[in-house]
Amino acid sequence: MSARERLVESARELLWERGYVGVSPRAIQERAGAGQGSMYHHFSGKAELALEAVRRTAGQLRDTAEAELSGPGTARSRISAYLLREREVLRGCPVGRLTQDPEIVASPRLREPVEETFTWLRSRLAEVIAEGREEFPAGLDPVATATAIVAVLQGGYVLARAAGSAEPFDQAINGVLGLLGVAPAD
């Protein structure tokens, strides 16, 4: 792996763990096994390196979700597969995490991939719900429901980190699945 590549990967990990304000270029360089000169040769600074890291992480989240939501099966089964996928719950969501960072929210360039990820995810989920409308309780609004589902995931991470345990995350998922009329093992 090239030094450039190692820098981006280190930045991704550290942004996930500590956020933008909590990471220093030096820490990224150390984890990457690269020096100052190397980093500033490949990137103009912390912001540009973070931008590439954030874009890559956002793209990966999208690709994973797209694969799950576009697989075979009913709308219900695809949504519950998406919700029940194994996650490193206590690490939180690598994209959602960034929304708590003042510098990321304040920077249009850094916020853009984050916004785009959730906009895409909400509308993709809304499509799946709309496709399988008769599988769900009657009169349900696809966009509002999709947004609530994404929110449950993001909020589940928050509650899990607060508790130091994955238990509230699992309960939150059980809770929406129940409300969607999907039994625990469905």
Partner DNA sequence: GTCTATAGGGTGATAGAC
Partner DNA sequence: GTCTATCACCCTATAGAC
Positions that interact with a second copy (CB under 8 A): 17-19, 21-22, 92, 95-102, 105, 111, 114-115, 117-119, 122, 137, 139-141, 143-156, 158-159, 161-164, 168, 171-176, 178-180
Residues 54, 147 contacting (CB under 8 angstroms): no
* Residue of 68, 34, 28 whose CA lies nearest to 46: 28
> Which one of DNA, a second copy, none interacts with residue 156, CB within 5 to 8 A by kind?
a second copy
Length of the chain: 186
Q: Cβ 34 to DNA, closest distance in Å?
A: 5
Helices 75-84 and 167-179 cross at an angle (nearest 10°) of 170
Q: Cβ 127 to DNA, closest distance in Å?
A: 40
> Which one of a second copy, DNA, none interacts with residue 179, CB within 5 to 8 A by kind?
a second copy
State phi, psi for 72 to the nearest 5 degrees.
-80, 170
Residues 54, 107 contacting (CB under 8 angstroms): no
| Chain residues that interact with DNA, rule: CB under 7 A | 2-4, 23-27, 34-38, 40-42, 44-47
